[in-house]
Amino acid sequence: MRSFLIFVARHAVMIALSVMFLAPVVFLLLTSFMTSNQTLTSEMWPREWHPENYVTAFTKVPLAKYMMNTVLYATLATGFMLLSSVPAAYGLAKLRWRGRTATMVAIICMMMLPAQVTTVPLYLFWANTGLTGSLWPLILPMLAGDAFSIFLLRQFMVTIPDEYLDAARVDGAGEWRTLLRIVVPMAKPGIAAAAIFQYFYAWNDYYGPLLYTSEREDNWPVSLGLASFRYMHHVEWHLVSAGTMLTMLPVIVLFFFAQKAFVQGVTLTGVKG
């Protein structure tokens, strides 16, 4: 008993933070097993357990279709981001060229720019191309890179010793070969962290899909699909909670398997500027 109390005392702050983070998830889980009449009451524990809420949430709306759209959006956006951001970060971290500092300052300024500022011109652009109503206006821009991802990857690549790159160049390797054979394998934790950040952002994105796909339900991701349980006079919170738990499960599993690379990438990024 004494050892248990000592453990609690030493980890009191971590335990308190864990409870704070887990309490909403537990509340959501309990709500997903309630009836519609109980969800808005003060009772926190289900009177009767209704696991069929998960079946109803999956069949009442095309949740599988919404999840496939979300997977498509998150996967392509992450892949395109890495395809463009990794070379850009390498150029900012390891190549010497005029204007590099100014470019880095511009990227940092882009990180501070709210997305709502560019909403109108971007929407008009994609409307003129005929791609509104789909997720492509959210996926294709990733081919031009992402400011936060470039910054994150650049900070990680700065920590890679230049001696490895110089040795490769002496052996006749060009910049692309040096990037692919030397830098990318050594920057895997940073690349994994950037990929997970982008994947989670795309998975949870609501504003972008609402702007571009709201008129075409076939292209909705789960962030919009959960709104299908909201009606004019009421919200079926038990089904919303069940659908939310089903939506959370894939990213929780993904983070569970990738947490080592993610944590390593985050902790090592920015060791030196």
pTM: 0.83
Are 197 and 100 in a shared domain?
A: yes
In the chain, the number of structural domains is 2
43, part of any domain: no
Q: State pLDDT tens for residues 138-152.
A: 999 999 989 999 999
Are 92 and 178 in a shared domain?
A: yes
Helix then strand then coil, % of the chain, to nearest 5: 75, 0, 25
100, part of any domain: yes
Find the helix packing angle between 12-31 and 237-268, rounded to 10°. 150
Helices (H), 39-146: 52-60, 63-94, 100-112, 119-129, 136-139
Q: What is the separation, in whole angstroms, between the first and last Cα of the chain?
A: 47
What is the rounded distance in angstroms from the CA atom of residue 152 to the CA atom of residue 146?
A: 10
**3-class DSSP state of 225:** helix
* DSSP label of 178: H
Are 11 and 101 in a shared domain?
A: no
Q: State pLDDT tens for residues 192-212.
A: 889 989 999 999 999 999 999
Are 68 and 107 in a shared domain?
A: yes
39, part of any domain: no
Dihedral angle, C-alpha 50, 54, 60, 64, nearest 10 °: -170
55, part of any domain: no
Are 111 and 174 in a shared domain?
A: yes
111, part of any domain: yes
125, part of any domain: yes
Of 226, 251, 225, 248, residue with least CA distance to 237: 226
| Residue 197 near residue 152 (C-beta atoms within 8 A) | yes
Task: Region of 46 please: left (phi>0), alpha (psi -120 to 50) or beta.
Answer: beta
Are 123 and 185 in a shared domain?
A: yes
Are 247 and 179 in a shared domain?
A: yes
Count the Cβ atoms, other than its own, within 10 Å of residue 203.
23
Look up residue 51 and give its two tokens: 């696991």
Domain coverage including residue 254: 61-227+240-268
Are 139 and 204 in a shared domain?
A: yes
Are 25 and 122 in a shared domain?
A: no
Give residue 67's identity as a one-letter amino acid code. M
Looking at residue 214, what is its pLDDT? 84
Are 186 and 252 in a shared domain?
A: yes
Dihedral angle, C-alpha 81, 205, 189, 144, nearest 10 °: 10
150, part of any domain: yes
- Stated length of the chain: 273
Are 134 and 189 in a shared domain?
A: yes
Are 9 and 117 in a shared domain?
A: no
pLDDT tens by residue, the chain, 273 residues: 677 777 777 778 888 888 888 888 898 889 889 888 888 778 888 888 888 988 888 888 888 899 999 999 999 999 999 999 999 999 999 988 898 889 999 998 888 888 888 889 999 999 999 999 999 999 999 999 899 999 999 988 998 888 989 898 888 888 899 999 889 988 888 898 899 899 999 999 999 999 999 888 889 999 888 877 776 456 788 888 888 888 888 888 887 777 666 666 555 544 444
47, part of any domain: no
The CATH number of the domain holding residue 145 is 1.10.3720.10
